[in-house]
Every structure is written in structure tokens, then in C-alpha cells.
Structure 1
């Protein structure tokens, strides 16, 4: 996304649509027709029966049999990188992992304050004029992380209760402290859309507010939700296009998740055509330094609230943009299982790499130890300069590992600071006559079982049926978040 060339065609499209140059005041505000939401998302149909129950059960089995044992043995969670759950004992951790594996797709709303995030949630769910309408206003209003979930009846759940219920997959949020849990709230609503997806509304970014003023690590909490989101809506409005420090930090956190990001220019019907063109261009220029990718994220231009569009504006354009956004949301819902399998496979790859690195550190330590050596000094030398002992290079040379998947070397200083190297066993010792070797099991899951499961779904076959020749065992599953 460099220069005006990449968005000039979009600006031209706005010109060709014609329409009035000025926006006249509305004579009467009417409520917008919502039938396109129900029809696009197929909410009028009965909730689809989960034809993937067998595949979901098998995914859970693969995780517990092939991935979880190595994860526990080498304390992967304490590396604090992309963990599925915080390790809190075998039973609770397994339960939380099950909750995340079976959880619905998550849609995350991010952006500056008062750009219409909460109003957009109200509109999509039809919460306006109901007891559970999210509070909105011109001033900063949302100070909580609000999770909207399906439930048999409308009720509010406190954050401390959500964190205590491991089946909801939110128990790892306890690590951010009680101050954060007081800013976390859940709302259960018997809504058709929430049967298939979970919405998360976040506090708006205020550039002059420091993290310590919030009382909890705001960026770390955002990262936790970003790592688990299937679709990320970053919302702007025509009056808040400036990029400050907090917004820059947010886009750094979104790095690598460009395929899930959708940029929304909200409140578009408040502008005349010429103004809208200028604002659209200004938004691209503001975001260009932050999203340095060949194909920029999709930008939707519309107004997401219950009131009808202002008269004499580009209603047809805004409606088409809204339907396109809903189509993206529908695709995420339909591909929920494929996305979950791909996520678990990525997690398995990271666990395997971590185990190989710990094994290499342990091998090096044993090789350098002699009868007269000081074990603490020997390992300190290894951990301070792993390149001298070819720790990471040996992993790349002997295994099918990408250098882009390797963790940060500094992370292992902290990891071994709380986990003595002598507390681990070599991978060659992690084998049993009946159960086989832990490394072999996770490699089989990565190269055969998970790709086969993913392929069987894509081919419309009965979940669980294996055909390595057809699915291409060992190939990384393609990103299915985007429409091609």
C-alpha cells in the first residue's frame, strides 16, 4: 500500500456512483430495514446441525493424545508465547483447552473511542431499545471488554465468574489480575447470530491515556483477544483518522494477522461525496505506514447503526458494502472448524519446536559437563550465547523447521530462569513401550492426522476418514479466512 495508486480505483468508484454532492438534513429519521442481515447470515433458517461433531471429537482427541503430553512435559505454557491455555494443573488446563477447541468463532471490535463500535454491535444484534443495548455516546463510553455470547435467556456475567468457568475458555484471563476482571463483562443473549459466533467489544483507544491509568495491561489483554479472534474489525470514523502512539502499538500487535483484519470507515453517510473521497484517501495515507503488505486489508465504507441512511447519500453503495462485510462474517462462521484445525496445527508446530530446543539445550549441557564442572556456570554460558553452541542453527539443520517459527532467544533466558535445565528429560527418553515416543506422536499429528482431518472436511467426506494421498500430508493448511 504505497502512494495513492492503490486506492484511486476505489475513489473513482465513488465518483461514478453519482448522487447529490451535498448531504441535506433528514426530514425524518426512520429505522433501517434489517432483512438483509437475516438473509445474508441465514438467520431465518434453523441453526445448522453440527455435522462436524465427529471431527471436533477427533480434534480434541489428537490434542490430548499427541500435543498435550509434550506441552506438559516441556512446560510450553511457561514460554508465554501463543499458549492455548495457562497451565493451572492437568485437569483444569485440559478443560480450558477443550473449551477453546469447541468455542465459537470470535469477532473482535477495535478502534479509537466513539467511532461506533458499540453502536455497530447493537445494530448487528438488534439490541437497540432492549435492556441489553450497549451504552453509546459522543464521549468515551465503553470502559469494559464486553463479551456477547449465546445463552437461553438474557443475563449479565461478571468477569470474575467468566474466568472461573473454564468451559468458557476465558480462564486464562485471570493472569491479567483482578483489576482487569472488574473490567470484563459477559452478556448472554438468546440470539440466532450468537449461536454461531461470539462478539467482543473493547474500550476505545484514547491517545493521551497511559496504560497504568487503566489499572491493567491493556495492550497485553488486547493481544490475548487478537490471538484468538477469527475476524477483527478495526473501526474508524471521519473525525478520528489521526494515528497516535496507542494506535501504532495496536497495529504492531496485529502484524501477521492481516488476513483477519477488516478496516471499517463508519458514519460515512454523514459526509458529502467530495468529503467522503477525501476522508477515504486520508484513511489510507494514515494506515499505509502501519500495514506494510502487498495487498492491503479490505476497507468497508458505510454507516452501521439502526437509523436509516441520511437522504441524498449513496445508499446503494453503503448497503452493498454492508452486505460484503456480512458475507465475510458468514464465511468465518461456515469455516469455523477448518480455522480451528489450522490453529491447533500451528500450536502443535510451536510446541514441537519448543521441545526440540529444550532437548538441544539439554544435550549441549550434558556434553559440556565434566566431573569438575560447575553446572550453574556451564549452563549460564550456554544460555547467554546459544549461537556459540549452534543451539538454534542445529534445529534448522536437522529438522523441518522454518526459521520464521523459531521463538525469541531471549525468551529462553526467562524460561530457564524458573525451570532448571536438569528438570527436563531428553526427547529420546520420552518414550514408552505401549505409548510410543512423544515426538513421533506430535510429528504424526502435524504431518498426517490434522491435515487429513482438514482435507476430509474440505472434500465433504465423513469427518475422520483418512486419505493421505488426496489431502497431501505434511502440507500446511491454507489460510481460509479470506475470500479468493
Structure 2
């Protein structure tokens, strides 16, 4: 048994014996699944990730020794995106019951949220500056330091002792303002959004019925969310501002505006309601709004309950990308050495290959491999930058990374993707989850997100 997995078993055993309490067998198996997931990442995925410098191609997902455990065991993250003043902050206040309390997020008719606000659990109410969040390696936000001090000044964490936050983290974002250039924000807005999108378990894209404009920033966000359509939920908030007939017209206009941006067979789920603690306006669809709100809360709870399954799927997707990257670097290497010969100019040969990889069937040859989808291939232009920073001669072909005792790294990652991670997924789905490391225990943790008023 690998050492890390053995240590995980010992840790679970200690948890079972602590205080004379014995955990249920199914719960201990479920806990061991977390340690098995970490072990698969360390032994099968991380070696290729480091050897072929995957993180320099895609600076997101699982990165660095200190954040691996935090990435995998972190609580589900719910990301709120959308134009300014559509009710994102009000919706978080409503879900957490913060209205008219000292912890309430500030809201207003003007663009009020200019910061990325991470609302998370803590033993006491306090504000954590972005520079502190990035410096703390125990948090999963330390990679945000790469976006510079200008961004960290616009990042703030709010900790509070709240039952729901023991199981989920909310992230409020600055509103999309279509008439403002990106460089005026003072930080790489799209890159920061990509970082949060890649880590979000659920993405709430919030709209106001009176603000359905589609511009450059929104189009870019949809391009960034490509491949994550299953996690997007569209919220048509403040729906009681319109009469039923007008609301139906707006609903149709919303789909008409979004259709060119969401190129999938099944569009994201759209929730129509008003998420704030005020009575619905008279002569509007009260029953519809209530049912929609209950459905959204059930959707949110499902994400919380499926946390481990989502993490396994996340690591498998990451493993697929690392494998494809390794295969592509191997193919670039093979083509480079075949074309270089004895008297070729290394710089000219490499530039010719990376500027026109289709001429050498670089990507087409990878598609001929088993279980490689063209939709998982990175952009061809990305390798111009990648090899501009990393000399191609610093890499070795995949066949070099095989040994008699340890086998081949490519075989290990393929086994993890095809067999080990799917088996873990089956095991994780076989029983109810216990409280996760760093979360609460006891009956209070089993509470689902609730409708806080006007529910009967």
C-alpha cells in the first residue's frame, strides 16, 4: 500500500477511535476515498504534470504542493456573475439570511461591488484582506497572488459562523460593465474570472429583466465557461417587477440573447424569481416564484451533497488534460528531432513546427490516440508561448520515462483515468457522506439550504 494512503488509513482509524466513538463503516470507507483520491493524484498525475510543466500551459486547477490538499478537500464554491446591480449581493444576503444584520453585504442601485468578495465560514465575524488570503498557504486562494497586488487590493474575505457556510463558500464578483475597457479595472479581469470559473462547483449567472444587454465582457465570460455548461445556472432575478405577460417576453428575449453564446444541445437551467426578503409585488406569479426558489435551493443542496463525486470528476478531467499535454509535447519532440537532422537550425526548425503544427499533423496524430476528444485539445497558439518560455530540448520523450520497476508514467495516468478514478466514483456514490475535514459535525450540518420566509 502506498505510504500516503497508509497514513490516510491510520488517520481515519484515529478518527474512529477518538473519544471512544466509532464511525460507521460506510463513513470510514467514504473518508478513505478522499485519501485514495490524493494518492492517485500524487502517484499517477502529478509526475507528468511536473515533468512536462503543464501548469505553465494552463495556470489553474491543481497547482503546487501546498495547495493540492486544499484544492481537493475545499468546500464547494458557488460563483455569482452578472451585470452590475442585478441582485448578486442581495441574493447572497438572502440565502444566508443576512438582511438587516451587521454582516449584510452592501447593496445599492449603482455599481456597488468593485471587489471579489469571498464569503466563508469562520469562528467569528471578521474581514480578511486579499493579501492575507494569498499569503496563507493553508487556504486555497494562495495562487491568486500571481495576478498582482492591484488585484489583491480588490479581493476581500468575510468570515462568519454560519451553518450553511460550513458546507459551501460563496464568491461575489464585480458586475459586468460593457462600456468600460478591461484595462481600466487595474487587473486582468478575464484571467481572474477564469481562475474562479475553473474552481466553481456552481455558477449563478444573474440577470435583471431590465438589463439583458450582451456585450464584449459577457461574450468573453461565456467563452471562458465553455465546457462547464452543466455548472451554469441562469437567474432571472427581480422577476416580480414585471407583469406575467411582460415576464414571458423577457424570458424569451433572454434565451434569444444567450443562444449564440451557449452552443450546447441542452441550455442551462433558468430560474425565475426575486431573491430578497420582501413580499412579492401584487398581481405577479407568486406560486411560480416560490417553486422556482425551492428548485434552486434543492439544486444548491445537491451540489453540496455531491462534493466528493465532483472532486473526483474534477481530478479526472485534470488528468485527461495533463495526459493530452504530455502526448502533444512528445509529438512536438518527435517531429522536432526528425526535422532537425544533422545540419538544421534548431530555432528555425522549432518556429516552423509551432507556427504551423497542422503541416506536421501534430494535433491530428493525437486525435488518433484512444480516448482523446478534439474538444479537450488546447489551443495551438498556446504552444507557441509554451515553447517560447520552455526550451524544447529540456524535455524528453514519453518513452524515456519508463523503468523496469516503476513502469511507464503514461501507463499510470491512463490507468488512473480509465479505471482507478471511475472506481473511486462508484465507491463515493455508494454511501452518504460524513462531515468532511475542516467542517462541522452533528445534526446541524445536515441542514439543507432553506427558504427563510413566505414559504407556506
Say whether 1:255 aligns with 2:226: yes
SS in 1 for 2:312: helix
For residues 338-417 of structure 1, the aligned pairs below 5 Å read: 338-417=309-388
In the other structure, the counterpart of 2:149 is: 178
In the other structure, the counterpart of 1:134 is: 105
The verdict on how the C-alpha distance between 1:407 and 1:248 changes in structure 2, with shifts beyond 3 A counting, is closer
In the other structure, the counterpart of 2:39 is: 61
SS in 1 for 2:317: helix
CA contact (8 A) 1:113 1:206 kept: yes
CA contact (8 A) 1:107 1:231 kept: yes
Match of 1:331 among 286, 291, 302: 302
For residues 4-83 of structure 1, the aligned pairs below 5 Å read: 52-80=30-58, 82-83=60-61
Partner Cα distance (2:338, 2:265) in 1: 47
CA contact (8 A) 1:82 1:347 kept: no
Match of 1:437 among 408, 424, 438: 408
Partner Cα distance (2:249, 2:432) in 1: 50
CA contact (8 A) 1:76 1:83 kept: no
In the other structure, the counterpart of 1:204 is: 175
Partner Cα distance (2:88, 2:239) in 1: 14
| Offset of residue 402 of structure 1 | 1.9
Partner Cα distance (1:200, 1:424) in 2: 39
* CA deviations over 1:26-53 (Å, ceiling 9, x no partner): xxxxxxxxxxxxxxxxxxxxxxx88732
| Offset of residue 312 of structure 1 | 4.0
- RMSD (Å), alpha carbons: 2.1
Partner Cα distance (1:460, 1:404) in 2: 33
Say whether 1:214 aligns with 2:192: no
CA contact (8 A) 1:369 1:378 kept: yes
* CA deviations over 1:421-447 (Å, ceiling 9, x no partner): 111112111123443221111111111
| Offset of residue 462 of structure 1 | 11
Partner Cα distance (2:284, 2:72) in 1: 44
CA contact (8 A) 1:456 1:462 kept: no
Partner Cα distance (1:412, 1:391) in 2: 11
Deviates more, 1:268-277 or 1:323-332: 268-277
Partner Cα distance (2:246, 2:359) in 1: 59
SS in 2 for 1:459: coil
Partner Cα distance (1:372, 1:245) in 2: 48
| Offset of residue 461 of structure 1 | 9.8
CA contact (8 A) 1:264 1:301 kept: yes
Partner Cα distance (2:75, 2:86) in 1: 26
Say whether 1:232 aligns with 2:203: yes
Q: How many residues align?
A: 409
In the other structure, the counterpart of 2:291 is: 320
CA contact (8 A) 2:30 2:427 kept: no
The verdict on how the C-alpha distance between 1:376 and 1:244 changes in structure 2, with shifts beyond 3 A counting, is closer
| Offset of residue 254 of structure 1 | 2.3
Match of 1:124 among 95, 111, 135: 95
In the other structure, the counterpart of 1:32 is: none
TM-score scaled by length of structure 2: 0.85
Say whether 1:107 aligns with 2:58: no
Unmatched tracts of structure 2, length 5 or more: 1-26, 435-456
| Offset of residue 393 of structure 1 | 2.3
CA contact (8 A) 1:113 1:203 kept: yes
The verdict on how the C-alpha distance between 1:367 and 1:305 changes in structure 2, with shifts beyond 3 A counting, is same
| Offset of residue 313 of structure 1 | 3.2
Partner Cα distance (1:178, 1:242) in 2: 31
The verdict on how the C-alpha distance between 1:281 and 1:397 changes in structure 2, with shifts beyond 3 A counting, is closer
Partner Cα distance (1:97, 1:82) in 2: 12
For residues 288-307 of structure 1, the aligned pairs below 5 Å read: 288-307=259-278
SS in 2 for 1:168: coil
| Offset of residue 300 of structure 1 | 1.1
TM-score scaled by length of structure 1: 0.80
The verdict on how the C-alpha distance between 1:133 and 1:424 changes in structure 2, with shifts beyond 3 A counting, is same
The verdict on how the C-alpha distance between 1:356 and 1:131 changes in structure 2, with shifts beyond 3 A counting, is same
Partner Cα distance (1:151, 1:435) in 2: 44
Match of 2:419 among 443, 448, 460: 448
Say whether 1:276 aligns with 2:270: no
In the other structure, the counterpart of 1:188 is: 159
SS in 2 for 1:157: strand
* CA deviations over 1:377-407 (Å, ceiling 9, x no partner): 3323322332232222222224432222222
The verdict on how the C-alpha distance between 1:366 and 1:195 changes in structure 2, with shifts beyond 3 A counting, is same
Unmatched tracts of structure 1, length 5 or more: 1-48, 86-92, 464-484
Partner Cα distance (1:461, 1:112) in 2: 38
